[in-house]
Amino acid sequence: MLAYMIRRLLWTPVLLAIVSMVVFVLGAYGPGDPVEVRLGQNYTPEAAERLREQLGLNDPIAVQWGRYVWSAIQLDFGESFVFQGRTVGEVLGPRLWVSAQLNIAAFLITVGFGLPLGFYTAKRQGTWLDPSIVLVTLALMALPVFIVAPFFIWLFALQLDWVPVSGWGGFFDRRIIMPAVTIGVPGIAVFTRLMRASTLDVLGQEYIRTARSKGLAETVVNYRHIARNALIPIMTIMGFTFAGLFGGALITELIYGIPGVARIALDSILARDFPIVTAFVLIGATMLVVGNLLIDFIYTVVDPRIRLQ
């Protein structure tokens, strides 16, 4: 098992190198030039040439990529083309941290409501509560963010005056509430339905009947035998959620004025700020690899059936 883990970890840098190469090739052969975006409409060709030289854009693409990989190995991801004199870390770092906190808060809402609701509806299968709850969560999921967010602002900020209209003050600031709810609530439906299906699956298992026939209290059966087993398949989805930890939610960020990562990612693509774009893609790829690896590892810990195979 350990050897398998190490082998997969060793492949990660190779994978990242390939991903970065794809970004480089797309940047070099796609339309658009970072120098022209930076200089706008009025500049001399000599000035553009000097800037291109300074940014190293005149070298062959293979040389540029090689240089990037070499610096990246030393954890130097270069400087932004747009924010002059600022490293990629300086530009992306604070925004990644903001997005991560917001995503964690949203995740807590999604899971905090989704899992209990799913469990509850499974236990009430066949009653009117089951389809009603699923319907409500699906309706909440169907509401687009550009309707929900302005409505929240109108209701909670302007009418009730509970929270400011926008801004960011960290995880424990009340301004996180509206964006976290906006991002977190649509996901409730996903976890409700997954948990419901998973719980129903477990309910039909022989060992549940065995547990009940042993005379165990219903709460013990519920929590130790049903819920814990039902959670196992859901971890895969949580792994993917983890991979999106540093992803941004563009419209939510824009409406609530959250200094997160989505806006800078979009702006960087439009401005051909390749160092930022590349770093962002690499972070996404890394998170996906690490997330999957983590889930595989946790499976072997929590589910003896997998360890035996």
Partner 1 sequence: MRKSLFFWAAALVSVVAVACGGSDGSSEPTEQSTPTPVPTRASAPQISPDLQNGTPTDGSDTGPRSGGRFTLVYSDPPTLDPHLVVDGTSFGIVVELFSGLVSLDESLKIVPELAESFDVLEGGTVYEFKLRPNIRFSNGDPITAQDFKWSMERAARPETASAVAETYLGDIVGMKELINGDAGDASGIQVIDERTLRITIDAPKAYFLAKLTYPTAYVLNRENVESGGRSWTDDPVGTGAFTLAEYRIGQRIRLVRNENFWDRPAYLDEVLYNLSGGVSMAMYENDEIDITGVGLADLDRVNDPTEELNKDLVDTPAQFGVQYIGFNVAEPPFDDVKFRQALNLAVDKELISSQVFADLLEPAYGIIPPDFPGFNPDLEGLRYDLDRAKQLLSESRYADESSRPRIIVTVPGSGGSPGLDVEVIADMWRRDLGVTVEIQQVEWATYLQDLNRKRLQAWGGVAWQADYPDPQDFIDILFYSETQGNRGNYSNSTVDSLVEQARTEQDISKRVELYQEAERIIVDEAAWLPLWFDTDRKALLKQRVQDYRFTQIAIPKFKDVWVTDAQ
Q: Which residues bind partner 1 (CB under 8 A)?
A: 31-34, 36-48, 50-51, 54, 79, 82-86, 90-91, 94-95, 98, 146, 149-151, 153-154, 157-159, 164-168, 250-251, 253-259, 263-264, 266, 270-272
At closest approach, how far in Å is the CB of 280 from partner 1? 14
Cβ closer to partner 1: 157 or 216?
A: 157
Cβ closer to partner 1: 106 or 190?
A: 106
Cβ closer to partner 1: 234 or 258?
A: 258
**CA 123 – CA 207 distance, rounded (Å):** 17
Radius of gyration of the chain (CA): 24
Cβ closer to partner 1: 163 or 226?
A: 163
**CA 34 – CA 51 distance, rounded (Å):** 10
Helix axes 274-302, 88-123, angle to 10 degrees: 40
At closest approach, how far in Å is the CB of 32 from partner 1? 3
At closest approach, how far in Å is the CB of 240 from partner 1? 24
At closest approach, how far in Å is the CB of 23 from partner 1? 15
Name the one residue in this structure whose structure tokens are 């995880």: 171
User: CA triplet 198, 204, 205: central angle to 5 degrees?
Assistant: 95
At closest approach, how far in Å is the CB of 95 from partner 1? 5
Cβ closer to partner 1: 165 or 290?
A: 165
Chain CA centroid to CA 70, Å: 28
At closest approach, how far in Å is the CB of 62 from partner 1? 23
Cβ closer to partner 1: 51 or 281?
A: 51
Please check whether residue 48 is in contact with residue 39, taking contact to mean a CB–CB distance below 8 angstroms: yes
Cβ closer to partner 1: 44 or 74?
A: 44
Query: Residue 37, exposed/middle/buried by CB under 10 A (0-12, 13-18, 19+)?
Result: middle
**CA 157 – CA 175 distance, rounded (Å):** 10
At closest approach, how far in Å is the CB of 61 from partner 1? 17
Cβ closer to partner 1: 121 or 268?
A: 268
At closest approach, how far in Å is the CB of 56 from partner 1? 12
